[in-house]
Amino acid sequence: MITALLLAAAPVVTAIDAENAFARDARKLGQWTAFRKWADPDAVMFTPQAVWARTFLKPLKDPPRSISWRPAQSFVSCDGRTAVNNGPWFTQDHRQAGYFMTIWQRTPAGWRWVYDGGVPSLKGSAGKTPRSVKASCSTPNAAPPVQAPPALKSTQAMTTPQDNGRGLSADGTLGWDWVVTPAGQRTFRVYLWNGKRYAEVIHAIDPAPKRK
């Protein structure tokens, strides 16, 4: 009982803490209620094309039981304000279904996720103890691999057959990009500054849905 109370009151300091709190809320408050609670107003999800999370989540009712997940890796910007988490996720009956990837940003309101997607498999994302990898804080002497994404209108996110986006942490040490083909295959990449270059730390592909 005491342990449960301590966990419930644990401060949300890192993106790993935020991921764990998000997962706990899914079990306590309801799956989609938790997704709405932790989402940034401009968060993006995939169905498989890009959709605004605020639009997609608004009408959804919580299922009787939530899916579950746990962070295994967290790639963090030098300033600690942006992170990309990944790890396994499980169905309502506790069967592993694949791996999630969530981009988190620390805002004035606290940590909020801005990207949520999953893939069938992901290299290096199976450890039971979360591993945090922080970008080098040395001054980058090369241009970032990606630039800040252009503003995406909600109508574009809902209807564009080939969607793509990219983002960069405020300090320029963590970058990502994603693209969805017309068939629905999504590729997601993450780059981390290591002091000498931008190293690709995630290259994940979610295959296009099978046609019925």
Is there a contact between 197 and 142 (Cβ–Cβ < 8 Å)?
yes
Do 34 and 195 contact (CB within 8 A), yes or no? no
Q: At what angle do helices 15-28 and 31-38 cross, to 10 degrees?
A: 150
Assigned architecture for domain 2-206 = Roll (3.10)
Angle at 20 between CA 16 and CA 22, to 5 degrees: 115
pLDDT at 50 (0 to 100): 92
Secondary structure (3-state) at 177: strand
Mean pLDDT by groups of 10 residues along the chain of 212 residues: 50 95 98 98 92 95 97 96 97 95 95 96 82 88 62 57 83 92 93 91 94 72
**In this structure, are residues 58 and 156 in contact, taking their beta carbons and an 8 Å threshold?**
no
Q: How far apart are CA 113 and CA 17, in angstroms?
A: 12
Closest CA to 167 of 178, 156, 158, 180: 178
Count other Cβ atoms within 10 Å, centred on residue 173: 27
State the Cα–Cα distance between residues 211 and 204, nearest whole angstrom: 21
Question: Which single residue is written with the structure tokens 């949520």?
Answer: 116
Annotated domain spans of the chain: 2-206
Q: Rounded CA gap, 71 and 88, in Å?
A: 7
Give the integer Cα–Cα distance in Å for 125 and 106: 23
